[in-house]
């Protein structure tokens, strides 16, 4: 997420675009080169939202660049449409609509499979342009005669013909593109894009419909590509057939990596380096086609030594010089010396019981999970009442985590039923169940590792405050009602207020565990499941975390799995013992502690003893 300093980036962009025609000619840049850089930069704004912010690497952007470009060029050259700006906008809409349809298919897969589908899509579009649609696209001749824009102001008509005159139009389009992109990445949707990039599993688990948001990013990127494609035709007075080639997509990816992904301006910087090197190496050094060899070496060096690209490298240098990191470390209190400031009682609406329901909060009946021949959970009956604190224990492999995964609908049971607050939730999705008020913290941390503590909690709180999907693309994050209060309250609950602006990567292990619990808490659950919250902690951290859990537990309904029975028995009122996927016993901590069958189960397990 970009740092929110009102209008600083917008102002600097405007100044840069205004002074460029006065400065760049002295650096050897021809106006046509600058215009091409801006078209690539505009194309890259959308791609960076998709790749840099949402983490979706597409090699198919040429499909949308070509679609927008050819629709606009066709309208202007063959359909008698006289309004250049109108044609560009129609081209953009056509590209966005195409992006929506393609996204529905491509986003069914993730990672390398998604990337491979986008490669195939680029190839299909290239083929379609040259064959079935060549009457419309001009095939290998492209579409010549694309006009430049002119605007009738009543008293005079302004023409943007070529060179620095056309620059004014393209620069204005780029500037508007930057303003829109900045609004998007600073909106709640932009925050969720970053969460999806960092940890899609957790973004889903805290209650966001990530498929909807990924599709949104895909359509945005396609719209930017479509508009930029149209501008290419205007710039060259000709819509070239190579707009659709896979090379175009590859060049965009490389330019973004060179400039710096997740920065919005990375593609512009990358395009500058690319086009400057192309001109310089080809013309000044006379390298001819061998210039790509030099570019390849530059690319490999940059990727190896500047993983954040040129802008990322400059940002790191700035941080180093300003000594920001040192200061934030010095200000931060070491975890081992943390004194707990226990937070007040819970506050959120969801944390109170469902008004129309008075039975058990959760009731599982005959819950069974089979993995092939292995029965992880067998015919479990289980219920929890409002306000109850329940512990679950059992030797390793007893089926505790599997049971939690079924309760939160992360995995579907083989048979059985789960009823939450009177509603059958069996077969629902984890996002829907979280939205209903049931969530868990994970045994192995599932954090948004590229974000700060505050940003992590913001992602979780947004799911509760906005629902699973909402297209508030131009809304400021800070204007989401109740967000600041909910995040600050959760920070206090998990005792991370002092570390709020620290990146997750810089947290101590105990702090990460508290943030893990905080992510679940920030969704304001009515039933909170904690899977081994004390796992991996030092004895001192355990004592602190037990204190913390006691304060969190006030007024909540919680189920806690842990192997540390001393700590667990201190926290909960009743304990359920699982053994080999079945319920062995259910009772008070005292009954469990003294029960011979439980002793036996543990003597047979890895623990060997039970807390006395
Ligand atoms: N996805 C899976 N595929 C196959 N078997 C699985 C899968 N997940 C869990 N199991 C098996 O189910 C059984 C129960 O595992 P589970 O993780 O629920 O136990 P647990 O009580 O949480 O263990 P631990 O205390 O070590 O975390 C184990 O035998 C495990 O190997």
Reported as a pLDDT band with limits 50, 70 and 90, residue 356 is low
Q: What local confidence, expressed as pLDDT, does residue 4 receive?
A: 54
Q: What is the mean pLDDT of residues 294-317?
A: 86
Q: Is the dihedral of CA 227, 229, 230, 231 positive or negative?
A: positive
pLDDT exceeds 90 at position 458: yes
Q: Is 371 in the pocket of ligand 1 (CB under 6 A)?
A: yes
Whether pLDDT at 5 is above 70: no
Minimum mean pLDDT among 161-170, 349-358, 396-405, 423-432: which range? 349-358
Q: Is 380 in the pocket of ligand 1 (CB under 6 A)?
A: no
Ligand 1 pocket test: pick from 374, 376, 391, 583 the residue with the most ligand atoms within 8 Å of its Cβ: 376
Distance CA 213, CA 428 (A): 19
Report the pLDDT averaged over residues 416-430.
95
DSSP 437: T
From the CA of 583, how far away is ligand 1's center (Å)? Answer: 15
In this predicted model, which residue has the larger pLDDT, 286 or 478? Answer: 478
**The ligand 1 atom nearest the CA atom of 399:** 18
Rounded distance, CA 268 to CA 300, Å? 19
Cα distance between residue 547 and residue 570, in whole Å: 10
Write down the pLDDT at residue 343.
43
Q: Is the CB of 372 under 6 A from ligand 1?
A: no
Instruction: Concatenate the DSSP letters of all residues of 278-291 into one string.
Output: HHIIIIIS--GGGH
Number of Cβ within 10 Å of residue 240's Cβ equals 20
Picking from 552, 562, 559, 563, the residue whose alpha carbon sits closest to that of residue 574 is 559
Closest CA relative to residue 212, chosen from 480, 476, 470:
470
Residue 400 beta carbon below 6 angstroms from any ligand 1 atom:
yes
**591 Cβ contact partners less than 8 Å away, ≥ 6 residues apart:** 585
| pLDDT at residue 325 is higher than 60 | no
3-class secondary structure, 368 = strand
* Binding site membership of 394 for ligand 1 (Cβ less than 6 Å): yes
For residues 238-252, give the mean pLDDT: 90
pLDDT digits (tens, 9 = 90+) for 494-532: 999 999 999 999 999 999 999 999 999 999 999 999 999
Query: Which two structure tokens, joined as six digits, stand for 474?
Result: 């131009």
Is residue 396 in contact with ligand 1, taking CB distance under 6 Å? Answer: yes
Site to probe by mutation for ligand 1, drawn from 397, 412, 534 as the one with most ligand atoms within 8 Å of Cβ, is 397
pLDDT at 336 over 80: no
Phi, psi of 419 (to 5 degrees): -120, 125
The SS3 call for residue 577 is: strand
- 127 CB less than 6 Å from ligand 1? no
Write down the pLDDT at residue 324.
Answer: 58
Ligand 1 pocket residue status of 395, Cβ below 6 Å: no
* Strand spans (E) along 421-573: 423-424, 438-441, 527-531, 557-561
Ligand 1 pocket check for 406: Cβ under 6 Å: no
101-133 core/surface letters (b: 16 or more CB in 10 A; e: else): ebbeebbeeeeeebbebbeebbbebbebbeeee
Find residue 527's DSSP bridge partners: 438, 557
Q: Which residue has the tokens 């192309």?
A: 278
Task: Report how far ligand 1's centroid is from the alpha carbon of 580 (Å).
Answer: 10
**How far apart are the CA of 392 and the centre of ligand 1, in A?**
15
How far apart (Å, rounded) are the C-alpha atoms in residues 517 and 24? Answer: 52
How does pLDDT run across 43-80, given as a tens digit for each residue? Answer: 999 999 999 999 999 999 999 999 999 999 999 999 98
Report H helices in 138-284. 163-185, 188-198, 200-205, 210-236, 246-259, 266-279
Q: Ligand 1 center to residue 546 CA distance, Å?
A: 25
* Average pLDDT over all residues of the chain: 89
* Cα of 372 from ligand 1 centre, angstroms: 13
Q: Is 113 in the pocket of ligand 1 (CB under 6 A)?
A: no
Establish whether residue 482 lines the binding site of ligand 1, counting it when its CB lies within 6 angstroms of any ligand atom: no
CA-nearest of 55, 65, 221, 66 to 139 is: 66
Spatial contact of 529 and 361, defined as CB atoms under 8 Å apart: no
CA 210 to ligand 1 centroid distance, Å: 27
- DSSP code at position 338: P
Mutation test of ligand 1: which of 371, 577, 606 has the most ligand atoms closer than 8 Å to its C-beta? 371
Q: Compute how many other C-beta atoms are within 10 angstroms of the C-beta atom of residue 83.
A: 14
Average pLDDT over residues 368-381: 94
- Beta strand pairing status for 143-144 and 238-239? antiparallel
376 lines ligand 1 (CB under 6 A): yes
pLDDT in tens, 120-154: 998 888 888 878 888 888 888 889 999 999 998 88
ipTM for the whole complex = 0.96
pTM as predicted: 0.89
374 lines ligand 1 (CB under 6 A): yes
Cα 312 to Cα 318: distance, rounded to the nearest angstrom:
10
**C-alpha pair distances (Å), 270 with each of 232, 257, 310:** 18, 7, 8
Domains and CATH numbers, the chain: 39-151+162-259 (no CATH), 359-603 (3.40.50.300)
- pLDDT of 63 reads 94
SS3 317: helix
């Amino acid at each position: 997420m970009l740092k929110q300093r009102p209008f600083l980036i917008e102002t600097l962009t405007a100044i840069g675009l205004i002074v460029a025609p006065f400065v760049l000619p002295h650096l050897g840049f021809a106006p046509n080169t600058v215009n091409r850089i801006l078209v690539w930069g505009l194309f890259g704004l959308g791609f960076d939202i998709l790749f840099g912010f949402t983490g979706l690497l597409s090699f198919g952007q040429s499909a949308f660049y070509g679609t927008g470009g050819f629709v606009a060029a066709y309208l202007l050259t063959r359909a008698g449409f006289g309004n250049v700006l109108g044609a560009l906008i129609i081209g953009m809409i056509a590209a966005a609509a195409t992006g929506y349809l393609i996204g529905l298919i491509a986003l069914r897969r993730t990672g390398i499979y998604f990337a491979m589908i986008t490669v195939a899509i680029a190839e299909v579009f290239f083929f379609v342009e040259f064959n079935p649609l060549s009457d419309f696209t001009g095939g290998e001749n492209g579409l010549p005669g694309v006009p430049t824009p002119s605007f009738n102001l009543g008293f005079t008509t302004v023409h943007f013909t070529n060179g620095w005159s056309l620059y004014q139009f393209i620069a204005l389009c780029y500037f508007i593109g930057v303003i829109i992109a900045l609004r998007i990445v600073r909106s709640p949707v932009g925050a969720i894009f970053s969460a999806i990039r960092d940890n899609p599993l957790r973004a889903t688990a805290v209650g966001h419909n990530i498929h909807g948001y990924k599709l949104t990013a895909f359509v945005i990127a396609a719209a930017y590509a479509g508009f930029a494609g149209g501008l290419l035709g205007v710039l060259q007075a000709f819509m070239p057939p190579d707009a659709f080639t896979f090379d175009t997509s590859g060049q965009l990816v490389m330019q973004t990596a060179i400039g710096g992904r997740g920065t919005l301006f990375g593609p512009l910087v990358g395009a500058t380096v690319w086009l400057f090197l192309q001109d310089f190496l080809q013309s000044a050094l006379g390298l001819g086609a061998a210039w790509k060899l030099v570019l390849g070496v530059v690319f490999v060096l940059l990727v190896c030594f500047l993983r954040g690209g040129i802008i990322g490298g400059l940002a790191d240098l700035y941080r180093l010089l300003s000594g920001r990191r040192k200061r934030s470390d010095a200000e931060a209190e070491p975890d081992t010396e943390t004194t707990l400031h226990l937070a007040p009682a819970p506050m959120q609406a969801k944390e109170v019981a469902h008004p129309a329901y008075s039975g058990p909060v959760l009731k599982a009946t005959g819950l069974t999970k089979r993995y092939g021949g292995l029965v992880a959970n067998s015919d479990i009956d289980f219920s929890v009442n409002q306000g109850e604190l329940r512990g679950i224990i059992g030797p390793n492999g007893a089926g505790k985590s599997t049971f939690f995964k079924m309760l939160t609908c992360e995995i579907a049971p083989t048979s059985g039923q789960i009823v939450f607050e009177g509603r059958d939730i069996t077969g629902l999705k984890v996002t829907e169940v979280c939205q209903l008020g049931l969530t868990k913290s994970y045994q192995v941390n599932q954090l948004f590792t590229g974000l700060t503590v505050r940003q992590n909690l913001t992602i979780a709180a947004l799911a509760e405050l906005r629902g699973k999907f909402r297209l508030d693309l131009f809304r400021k994050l800070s204007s989401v009602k109740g967000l600041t209060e909910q995040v600050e309250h959760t920070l206090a609950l998990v005792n991370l207020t002092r570390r709020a602006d620290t990146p997750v990567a810089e947290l101590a292990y105990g702090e990460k565990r508290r943030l893990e619990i905080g992510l679940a808490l920030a969704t304001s659950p009515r039933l909170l499941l904690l899977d081994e919250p004390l796992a991996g902690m030092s004895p001192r951290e355990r004592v602190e975390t037990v204190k913390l859990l006691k304060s969190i537990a006030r007024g909540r309904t919680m189920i806690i799995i842990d192997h540390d029975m001393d700590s667990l028995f201190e926290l909960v009122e009743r304990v359920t013992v699982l053994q080999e996927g079945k319920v062995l016993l259910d009772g008070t901590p005292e009954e469990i502690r003294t029960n011979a069958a439980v002793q036996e189960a543990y003597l047979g397990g890895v623990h060997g003893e039970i807390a006395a």
